[in-house]
Amino acid sequence: MDKLARRIHAATVTVVAAALLIGVTAGLNAENLMVYIEARDPNQLERLDDDEKQLKVDYFLSAIEAGIMDAFFEADYVVFNAGPVSGADEIGRRSEAHVLTVAQEGGADLLIRLAVRFDTDGNGAPEPGLGELAVYQVDGAEEILSHRVRLAELVDGELELSGEVGFKIGTAIAQRVLENS
């Protein structure tokens, strides 16, 4: 096969594979869901005195995100996260409209946005407190669920900045959303 024939063959295989993938996923009737997690309470997080504490916060938030995504994936949703979203204000938060635009551009039908408020314990270590959850129907930018919860309630008071606890919190949040949808 010459170079041109190989390129045509490769392009044909790619088009056929894409058509099959689109056909298979279209038959699933799965909703596309974007998950966006952010830390709130800049007064506490700005005072973190070392990178290790910030890494623990980031890891904890990633574990919550993973728990949410895993539970929705198991419930037959096509799930993706926002990743780094540009457009942060001076304290790292993104506007509701901006996050909805990112979700729409990514093809999401639903958006789960969770803001985790942090306090600090007596030693200055970050301590997760309140979770502010909002679920949006992306088309129309309609908030369909809003809920506040003390994160410790989701894990029977076992609140620490660990991946395991974060994952449990994410799974519990996803279950609440699924029960209310």
pLDDT in tens, 78-119: 999 986 544 444 444 567 888 888 899 999 999 999 988 887
Question: What average pLDDT does the segment 130-145 reach?
Answer: 90
> Which segments within the chain are labelled E, that is strand?
32-40, 78-81, 110-120, 126-137, 142-150
Question: What average pLDDT does the segment 112-134 reach?
Answer: 83
Residue 28 above 60 pLDDT? no
Give the residue, 113 or 40, on which the prediction is more confident: 113
Mean pLDDT for the chain overall: 76
pTM of the model: 0.75
Write down the domain spans for the chain.
1-29, 31-179
Query: Would you give the DSSP letter of residue 159?
Result: -
Q: What is the pLDDT of residue 83?
A: 67
Residues 177 and 30: their CA atoms lie apart, in Å, by: 16
Question: What average pLDDT does the segment 126-139 reach?
Answer: 88
Question: What average pLDDT does the segment 36-56 reach?
Answer: 68
The pLDDT > 70 percentage for the chain reads 70
Give the residue, 136 or 25, on which the prediction is more confident: 136
Provide the token pair at 3.
């170079």
Give the residue, 48 or 87, on which the prediction is more confident: 48
Q: Give strand pairing partners of 128.
A: 118
Residues 136 and 139: their CA atoms lie apart, in Å, by: 9
Query: For the domain 31-179, what is the CATH code?
Result: 3.40.50
Give the residue, 3 or 25, on which the prediction is more confident: 3
The type of residue at 92 is: G
Per DSSP, the three-state class of 80 is strand
Residues 146 and 136: their CA atoms lie apart, in Å, by: 9
pLDDT bucket at 148, cuts 50 / 70 / 90? very high
Q: Are 72 and 79 within 8 A, CB to CB?
A: yes
Residues 95 and 101: their CA atoms lie apart, in Å, by: 10
Per DSSP, the three-state class of 163 is helix
What is the bridge-based pairing of β-strands 126-137 and 78-81? Answer: unpaired
Q: What is the pLDDT of residue 22?
A: 42
Surface-to-core class of residue 137, CB atoms within 10 Å of its CB (0-12 exposed, 13-18 middle, 19+ buried) = middle
Q: Which residue has the tokens 């539970």?
A: 71
